[in-house]
A and B are shown apart, each in its own frame.
Chain A
Amino acid sequence: MTTTPSKGIDPRGPRFGASITSALLLITVFLGLVGDAQRATVLLAVIVALFAWGAFAGIQRHPYGRIFARFVRPRLAPPAELEDPRPPTFAQLVGLLVTGVGLALELLGVAGAVTVSAALAFVAAFLNAAFGYCLGCQIYVLLVRARVIRPTSG
């Protein structure tokens, strides 16, 4: 409550990024299903890196955010309202955890871990892209409720 919100972002930016992410995740699931575990793992590793970028550098500095700002947003009408960049940045962290765990398990020898985690992450990314529903953001309140997240001030 006391923290000042950072500069607002166009809410369509994260949805644009989520649509690219969901397409990549769908390709990962496909590769996993047809038995090309190697390529599936490499592609998921790229997605994990992209999630890490968004989670730690912030959603605005994510490559998709830059592409959106540079090439897509100039073609669109101005947004009705701007959005706080922190919730979608937090959602990137949730995506990083889901895909990161899948990648780690696969590398530890758990067959199918990449496919399953890519499928789970796809559902979340698709809900964001197609419906504007930020599943990752919703998890925050559950973590607060479970006292996993505690206020840092006040």
Chain B
Amino acid sequence: MCDIEAIDRYFKEQKPERLQKFIMHEMGIAMQIVEIASASIPADIEDVRVERINLKVGKLTAVVPESLRFCFQIVAQDTPFCNADLNIEEIPIIAKCNDCNIEWTISEPVFRCQECNSGSVEIISGRELDINSIEIAYEDTQDADKHV
């Protein structure tokens, strides 16, 4: 369920400056997600309910999954997205050394080659901010017509 009352309460209770800090770029990103997802629903399907949005979010992005979920809930209210689950797959930061060609996962903010200490390092993954797919449910009206 969309707990719109809880969100309204949150807005009323928080001081504006606190809220301004809270509503960051995740709001714009949530809007973009809804924009892209709604454009990918075929136009001939009516009364669609979006159950899940599958996202890939790299660890080297400026996105906090919890903030994104919160903003998504606000953006999605009164739309077919209001019950949708944001399924966020976090992608690790994988680097490749341009000198000795090894690949490794970066967990600490050190972007030097573990083997040869080279600074010539390429980021292979970790910058993703992609919508992979959406899962929808709708009534099969064509089939129903046959039964009438």
Check if A and B associate. no
